[in-house]
Amino acid sequence: MHTPQRALRLAAALALTLATLAPALAAQKAQDDPERQRAFELFQEQQFAEALAPLEKLAARYPGDGEVLARFGLTLFVNTISEPDSPQRLARRARARAAVVRARELGFDAGVPKDLIDQLIAGLKEDGSSAGGPNATKFSDVPEADTAMRAGEAAFMKNDYDAALAAYEKALALDPKLYEAPLFAGDVFLQKGQFEKAGEWYARAIKLDPDREQAYRYWGNSLLKQARLDEARDKYVEAVVANPYDRYTWENGLFRWANAKAVRLGHPKIDVQSNFSQKDGRNVVTLDPKAGEKPGDGSAAWAAYGLLRAAWALNDYEKFKQAYPGEKAYRHSLREEAGALRGVIEAVRNQQKAGEVKQLSKDLQLLVQLEEAGLLEAYVLFARTDQGIAQDYVEYRKANRDKLRRYLTEYLASGKY
């Protein structure tokens, strides 16, 4: 899920990203229009207030120019950051979004960070309101704290880090539960190169809400900058544990670490050779022809998977209703999936007791290994999840955070799979 604060924070992220791009990139595409070239230079120099008017003129002059529209949309959005909520602000954000949507359709050069374009589009609705809801543009319900946060953002954009820090500290004092205040304070110290201080502030944000991913990820970014790769991995893992079903969390966390470490992320390769489905009101269990093809490898045990899943659909889903008495409609659940896989493991063990297994297949070895490590549910939640199973994640995490961490570290990020 894209948080509203992500859209609000885009301005700062834009400044940091542009700082890493070669200034020549914008000028290379300036063609023969000196006004276009100058506006692009202002954008590249992060002079967003000065760049707005000339970019707006260029957007009207060149409505089919994706490079102009991308810069205009981002610049217009940045200039709304410190504005109070109003119909005018909403309209300006709607224009900003429309401009970058059109720019993405037309295409634009590498002088504009494409990931930030995607963030802006995801973070705003077509009418300019936040995708997080009508009140999502607020940092805090405490008016003075919200004002302080906006002042901090405005100062941060001007690279006035001392003023930004003072504003974030003031906001936190006014609203002690305001997650963004220590989060953004950590960013101040990150920009100042004071990495330990940045970590201390990220830790304060985590203490306020351990189930939000941003502070873990920002901390991981800080550690990655310092080439402290194993520590960065651990923070990115925590980010995934906090928010596992948002691709953004992965792309800007563990994927970055894996690239820096030259590690291939991967789940254990387990080919579930049985399935359960429903067709025309009938329960259908299928078995892959491979199951049992090699005598002595234990793969005949896969038959148990489909049969055990089918049991959850019998008698008008009686088993599901007993397991989830508060839910009205059946869904595929963590208990069903993990139970079916455990049934396969039990069938394997029965074969082994009977002396029928000569060499257990690799995927069944991995399945048994996960069960013996206590990580079967973690595997299901990360590697075999669907919309139904995902609904069980938060409840499982309450008492099993360490198992989720272990699976991500010992399996997914191990480079073995």
Query: What is the tens place of the pLDDT at every residue in 405-417?
Result: 999 999 999 999 9
User: What integer is the mean pLDDT of 24-48?
Assistant: 72
Higher pLDDT, 268 or 107: 268
Answer yes or no: is pLDDT of 337 > 80.
yes
Per-residue tokens: 211: 């189930």
- Domains detected in the chain: 4-123 (no CATH), 144-261 (1.25.40.10), 274-412 (no CATH)
Q: Are 268 and 411 in contact (CB under 8 A)?
A: yes
Containing H/E element for 284?
A: strand 282-287
pLDDT at 132: 57
Percent of the chain predicted with pLDDT > 70: 90
pTM exceeding 0.75: yes
Answer yes or no: is pLDDT of 26 > 80.
no
User: What integer is the mean pLDDT of 5-25?
Assistant: 49
> In sequence order, what are the residues at sequence separation of 6 or more whose Cβ sits closer than 8 angstroms to the Cβ of residue 401?
241
pLDDT at 14: 56
Query: What is the tens place of the pLDDT at every residue in 344-399?
Result: 999 999 999 999 999 999 999 999 999 999 999 999 999 999 999 999 999 999 99
Answer yes or no: is pLDDT of 4 > 50.
no
Answer yes or no: is pLDDT of 25 > 50.
no
User: What integer is the mean pLDDT of 34-56?
Assistant: 89
Answer yes or no: is pLDDT of 91 > 80.
yes
Answer yes or no: is pLDDT of 47 > 90.
no
pLDDT band, very low/low/confident/very high, at 84 (cuts 50, 70, 90): confident
Answer yes or no: is pLDDT of 3 > 50.
no
Per-residue tokens: 62: 């060149």
Residues 87, 173, 180, 237, Cα dihedral to 10°? -160
Answer yes or no: is pLDDT of 259 > 50.
yes
pLDDT at 12: 52
Taking each continuous run of H as one helix and of E as one strand, the counts in the chain are: 23, 2
DSSP H helices in 45-179: 48-61, 66-78, 87-106, 114-123, 143-157, 161-174
Answer yes or no: is pLDDT of 83 > 50.
yes
Average pLDDT of the chain to the nearest whole number: 89
pLDDT at 319: 96
User: What integer is the mean pLDDT of 276-294?
Assistant: 87
Considering only 141-145, 151-155, 339-343, 370-374, which range has the smallest mean pLDDT?
Answer: 151-155
Per-residue tokens: 196: 């330990």
pLDDT at 293: 84
Higher pLDDT, 362 or 8: 362
pLDDT at 55: 96
Considering only 158-162, 199-203, 318-322, which range has the smallest mean pLDDT?
Answer: 158-162
Answer yes or no: is pLDDT of 10 > 80.
no
Q: Are 226 and 239 in contact (CB under 8 A)?
A: no
Q: Are 162 and 175 in contact (CB under 8 A)?
A: no
User: Alpha-carbon Rg of the chain, whole angstroms?
Assistant: 26
Please tell me the distance from the alpha carbon of residue 315 to that of residue 407, in angstroms, as a whole number: 35
pLDDT at 11: 55
Please tell me the distance from the alpha carbon of residue 137 to that of residue 82, in angstroms, as a whole number: 11
Query: What is the tens place of the pLDDT at every residue in 166-218?
Result: 999 999 999 999 999 999 999 999 989 999 999 999 999 999 999 999 999 99
Higher pLDDT, 19 or 262: 262
pLDDT at 110: 64
In terms of average pLDDT, the best of 22-36, 45-59, 186-200 is: 186-200
Higher pLDDT, 136 or 378: 378
pLDDT at 273: 93
pLDDT at 43: 86
> In sequence order, what are the residues at sequence separation of 6 or more whose Cβ sits closer than 8 angstroms to the Cβ of residue 305?
272, 273, 274, 275, 276, 340, 341, 343, 344
